[in-house]
Amino acid sequence: MTAQTRSCAVVGVEAVEVLVEAQVIPALRRFSIVGLPDSALRESKDRVRCAVENSGFSFPNREVVVSLAPASLPKHGSHLDLAIAVSILAADGQLPEDAAKDFLLIGELALNGSLQYTGSSLAAAHLVKKSNLNGLILPRANAALAAALEDIKLYPAQLLGEVIAILKERTPPPRVNSMPLSTTPMTGPSYRDVYGQSAAKRVLEISAAGGHNVLLTGPPGSGKSMLAERLPSIMPPLSKDCAIEVALIREASHLKSQGLSAAPPFRAPHHSTSTAGLIGGGSRPRPGEVSLAHRGVLFLDELPEFRRDALEALRTPLERSTVSISRANVCTSFPARFLLIAAMNPCPCGYFGTKGGRCTCLPTEIAKYCAKVSGPLMDRIDLNVWVPPLPPTALAKIPRTQAVDETPEMRRRVLGARARQRERFRSSSYLNSTMSSDQLKSLAQTSPQSQKLIEQAAYTAALSARGFTRALKVARTIADLEESETIEPPHMQEALSYRLPRGVTGPK
């Protein structure tokens, strides 16, 4: 006798339906699973057998063959346990044969028959939403997150026995309350505790408003990391759809779930991170830091210290906002729309351009150090800013209580600029930095004087074609922050001032 159930395999952040077919054959007691299971799934045999017997059902005392189709697709993870157990019980006649055929089942089984939290619930819920399946049966611990996707029938269960009861009795789905989007995203550090550094704060405000990449250059101890870490505090909170995207990527990378958070992610990988760690990869492709920073900030401190190949590999996600990884016959894609904030010292010793002549580096050493970041990567960075060292007396002069917190004002201007962009593009998924060249022509609204200015600059500063358009986009964001319809010369001048010629030259 044969019975079928449905579950899924997760490829990247997308679930692919897997047909689980069980057959009980009158032969010696044996249990096999075919269809490219990984080791976690091969161990499913023991979990399923114990869970079935401890839930008050009997495991067939004959040969059991479970096939997972499509056979060519590698299947990972223990979330197929539930579909395997149910298909075996149906094939053994302990459940009507077609009882489970129009449900998607996910859940890892514990030996006592309880359903454990699984990391694939959002991907599975997406699959159910776009298919014509009846509903999703899943562990109770996963239900609130999966309910964030509206209009799908969810059947949460705690035990294998409950699942069998749902299937036999066809109980209607209960009401599952969706996990709320956490609306206290700005609990992280704010600019309240950063004294001075107004140029860097201005640049980060422009970056948050229009989605432009930043390079902070300055000696050690000037507060580059502090400035970058506080960027999420002035960014708009994530919409529910964006928060779901972020949660999906966390599930795909097997990170602990943070539920649905409106806080933009902030990732700061160490410079020793491998290319696969940064971009994504591995024999079973997993998202890299660029994807974990999706809809948020990727902060790369000590930029020249990163592996050259890792930095070069950054170029594609920066341009396309997505990462594709090919392995055997499966191509996996991960979203990667992030804001790059990079920081570096001006020279190997770190003190070039500072007072007191502390720098001991030779010009050739400085050139070599700066050349570690390639021209094409620098071209994708729109805002270069010098972060000067703070005089030792600076902090002592201003008592903490008198320090003004600029964060709310910066945030208000960023939100205003974002609202203008939403109106311009009639969508919240576009920002000035993502404008196509056609949009740039029709929507940038450059005044004639500004146009002349940028053309002159393109000629004298030898801007590349990419540099030219990127400077225009930055100017558009500056005009948005100033609530100006057109890009005026001061906006254009400011935008051009952030494009440095190749190599770092210290303070201007």
* Longest alpha-carbon distance in the chain: 88
Q: Does 390 bind Zn ion (CB under 5 A)?
A: no
* CB 47 to Zn ion: min, Å: 59
According to CB under 5 A, which one of 252, 340, 361, 495 is a site residue for Zn ion? 361
Q: Give the whole-angstrom CA distance, residue 108 versus residue 116.
A: 5
Q: Give the whole-angstrom CA distance, residue 332 versus residue 248.
A: 14
According to CB under 5 A, which one of 122, 359, 478, 481 is a site residue for Zn ion? 359
Q: Does 352 bind Zn ion (CB under 5 A)?
A: yes
Q: Does 344 bind Zn ion (CB under 5 A)?
A: no
Q: What's the Cα-to-Cα distance from 220 to each of 193, 216, 224, 294, 388, rounded to whole Å?
A: 18, 11, 8, 28, 10
Considering the complex, state which of residue 86 and residue 387 has its C-beta at the smaller distance from Zn ion: 387
According to CB under 5 A, which one of 300, 313, 347, 496 is a site residue for Zn ion? 347
Q: Does 299 bind Zn ion (CB under 5 A)?
A: no
Q: Does 349 bind Zn ion (CB under 5 A)?
A: yes
Burial class (CB in 10 A: 0-12, 13-18, 19+), 50: middle
Q: Does 293 bind Zn ion (CB under 5 A)?
A: no
Burial class (CB in 10 A: 0-12, 13-18, 19+), 391: exposed
* CB 302 to Zn ion: min, Å: 14
| Span near Zn ion by CB under 5 A; candidates 185-193, 304-312, 356-364, 368-376 | 356-364
Considering the complex, state which of residue 37 and residue 219 has its C-beta at the smaller distance from Zn ion: 219
- Residue of 318, 240, 225, 304 whose CA lies nearest to 271: 304
Strand partners, 66: 22, 33
Q: Does 369 bind Zn ion (CB under 5 A)?
A: no
* CB 347 to Zn ion: min, Å: 3
| Span near Zn ion by CB under 5 A; candidates 206-214, 359-367, 485-493, 497-505 | 359-367
For residue 10, give the amino acid letter. V
91 with 2: CB under 8 angstroms?
yes
- Residue 198's CB: how many other CB atoms inside 10 A? 9
Number of residues interacting with Zn ion: please give it, by CB under 5 A.
5
- Residue of 260, 187, 273, 259 whose CA lies nearest to 230: 187
Q: Does 36 bind Zn ion (CB under 5 A)?
A: no
Considering the complex, state which of residue 314 and residue 359 has its C-beta at the smaller distance from Zn ion: 359
| Span near Zn ion by CB under 5 A; candidates 135-143, 319-327, 352-360, 458-466 | 352-360
Considering the complex, state which of residue 203 and residue 361 has its C-beta at the smaller distance from Zn ion: 361
* CB 360 to Zn ion: min, Å: 6
* CB 352 to Zn ion: min, Å: 4
Considering the complex, state which of residue 311 and residue 366 has its C-beta at the smaller distance from Zn ion: 366
* CB 216 to Zn ion: min, Å: 17
Considering the complex, state which of residue 77 and residue 350 has its C-beta at the smaller distance from Zn ion: 350
* CB 378 to Zn ion: min, Å: 20
Strand partners, 10: 15
* CB 340 to Zn ion: min, Å: 25
**Tokens standing for 174?**
């209960």
82 with 163: CB under 8 angstroms?
yes
251 with 119: CB under 8 angstroms?
yes
**SS3 of 410, please?**
helix
* CB 346 to Zn ion: min, Å: 7
Phi, psi of 340 (to 5 degrees): -90, 120
Q: Does 330 bind Zn ion (CB under 5 A)?
A: no
**Tokens standing for 8?**
């899924």
Q: Does 367 bind Zn ion (CB under 5 A)?
A: no
Helix 44-54 vs helix 81-91: crossing angle, to nearest 10: 60
Q: Which residues bind Zn ion (CB under 5 A)?
A: 347, 349, 352, 359, 361
